[in-house]
Amino acid sequence: MCGIFGVVGQRLPTDEDFLTALKTIEHRGPDNLSMRRIDNELIFGHARLSIIDLSNASNQPFVTDRSHLVYNGEIYNYREVREELRKLGCVFNTSGDTEVVARAFEQWGDACFDKLHGMFAIALYDLQSKTLHLARDRFGIKPLYVRANEGNVAFASEAKPLLRLGRRAINAAVLQEIILWGFHLSQNSFFEGIWQVAPGEIVSFADGEVRRRRWAADTTQSKRWWKELGIQKSLERSVEDHMVADVPVAVALSGGLDSSVIAALAAKQRGNLVAFTTTFSDHDDDEVVYARMVAKHCGIDHHVVRLPSGDLEQMLRTIVNHMEEPIANPNVFPTFGLSKVIRDAGFKVILMGEGSDEIFAGYPWHRAAQEVGADVRSMYEHYRRRRTQSKAAGYLQKPSADALANRESEFVETFRRQTAGTPLDTMLAFERAYQMQFSQLLRVDKMMMAHGIEARVPYLYASVLDAANRIPDNRKINISPKHRGRSDKIALARVAGKLLPAKVANRPKFGKGGTVNLWETPLMAEMDAVADKMLTSSDYRDARSHLSEWIDWKTVKGTPAKQMFTLMSMIMATDLHILQ
The CATH number of the domain holding residue 71 is 3.60.20.10
208 burial type by CB count under 10 A (0-12 exposed, 13-18 middle, 19+ buried): exposed
Q: Are residues 28 and 75 in the same domain?
A: yes
pLDDT higher than 80, residue 508: no
Q: Are residues 207 and 253 in the same domain?
A: no
Give the pLDDT of residue 570.
Answer: 97
Q: Are residues 29 and 73 in the same domain?
A: yes
Give the pLDDT of residue 227.
Answer: 67
pLDDT higher than 90, residue 139: yes
Can you tell me the mean pLDDT for 370-394?
79
Q: What is the pLDDT of residues 4-47, one digit of tens each?
A: 999 999 889 999 999 999 999 999 999 999 999 988 899 999 99
Q: Are residues 246 and 335 in the same domain?
A: yes
pLDDT band at 517 (very low <50, low <70, confident <90, very high): low
Identify which of 173-177, 375-379, 421-425 has the greatest average pLDDT. Answer: 173-177
For residue 361, is it left (φ>0), alpha (ψ between -120 and 50) or beta? left
Give the pLDDT of residue 222.
Answer: 57
Domain interval for residue 82:
2-214
User: What does the alpha-carbon distance between residue 46 and residue 388 come to, in Å, rounded to a whole number?
Assistant: 38
558 burial type by CB count under 10 A (0-12 exposed, 13-18 middle, 19+ buried): exposed
The residue among 425, 448, 469 that closes a domain is: 425
The residue among 472, 497, 520 that closes a domain is: 520
pLDDT band at 416 (very low <50, low <70, confident <90, very high): confident
Give the chain's count of helices (H) and strands (E).
Answer: 23, 17
User: What does the alpha-carbon distance between residue 319 and residue 294 come to, in Å, rounded to a whole number?
Assistant: 30
pLDDT higher than 60, residue 512: no
Sheet holding 349-351, edge to edge: 301-306, 274-279, 249-252, 349-351, 454-456
Which of 118-132, 222-236, 302-316 has the weakest average pLDDT?
A: 222-236
- Phi/psi of residue 273, each to 5°? -70, 140
Which residue in 1, 2, 7, 324 sits closest to 134, CA to CA?
7
Give the pLDDT of residue 514.
Answer: 41
Which residue in 44, 38, 382, 387 sits closest to 185, CA to CA?
387
The residue among 376, 406, 425 that closes a domain is: 425
What percent of the chain is predicted at pLDDT more than 70? 94
Q: Are residues 345 and 247 in the same domain?
A: yes
User: What does the alpha-carbon distance between residue 417 and residue 408 come to, in Å, rounded to a whole number?
Assistant: 14
Which of 45-49, 263-267, 425-429, 521-525 has the weakest average pLDDT?
A: 521-525
Cβ-defined contacts of 232-235 (< 8 Å, 24+): 232/495, 232/498, 233/467, 234/461, 234/463, 234/464, 234/466, 234/467, 235/261, 235/265, 235/458, 235/459, 235/464, 235/495
Q: What is the pLDDT of residues 151-193, one digit of tens each?
A: 899 999 999 999 999 999 999 999 999 999 999 999 999 999 9
Give the pLDDT of residue 515.
Answer: 46
pLDDT higher than 70, residue 553: yes
Can you tell me the mean pLDDT for 484-509?
86
User: What does the alpha-carbon distance between residue 61 and residue 37 come to, in Å, rounded to a whole number?
Assistant: 10
Q: Which residues have CB under 8 Å from 14's CB, separation 6+?
A: none
Q: Are residues 206 and 350 in the same domain?
A: no
Q: Are residues 70 and 171 in the same domain?
A: yes
Q: Are residues 111 and 166 in the same domain?
A: yes
Which of 93-102, 129-138, 360-369, 426-435 has the weakest average pLDDT?
A: 360-369
User: What does the alpha-carbon distance between residue 131 and residue 279 come to, in Å, rounded to a whole number?
Assistant: 48
Range list of β-strands (E), 157-200: 194-196
Q: Are residues 434 and 421 in the same domain?
A: no
Concatenating the DSSP letter of every residue in 307-374 gives -----HHHHHHHHHHHH-S--S-TTHHHHHHHHHHHHHTT--EEE--TTHHHHHT-SGGGGGGGGS-S
pLDDT higher than 90, residue 292: yes
Q: Are residues 276 and 300 in the same domain?
A: yes
Number of domains composing the chain: 4
pLDDT higher than 80, residue 480: no
In DSSP terms, 122 is beta-bridged to: 71, 135
Give the pLDDT of residue 41.
Answer: 92
Q: What is the pLDDT of residues 211-247, one digit of tens each?
A: 999 998 766 655 655 666 689 999 999 999 999 999 9
Q: Are residues 210 and 295 in the same domain?
A: no
Which of 106-110, 141-145, 220-224, 387-391 has the weakest average pLDDT?
A: 220-224
pLDDT band at 369 (very low <50, low <70, confident <90, very high): confident
The CATH number of the domain holding residue 438 is 3.40.50.620
pLDDT band at 388 (very low <50, low <70, confident <90, very high): confident
Task: Supply the pTM of this predicted model.
Answer: 0.95
Q: What is the pLDDT of residues 557-567, one digit of tens each?
A: 878 888 899 99
Can you tell me the mean pLDDT for 83-102?
94
Give the pLDDT of residue 223.
Answer: 61
Q: Are residues 421 and 435 in the same domain?
A: no
Which of the 8 DSSP states describes residue 276?
E
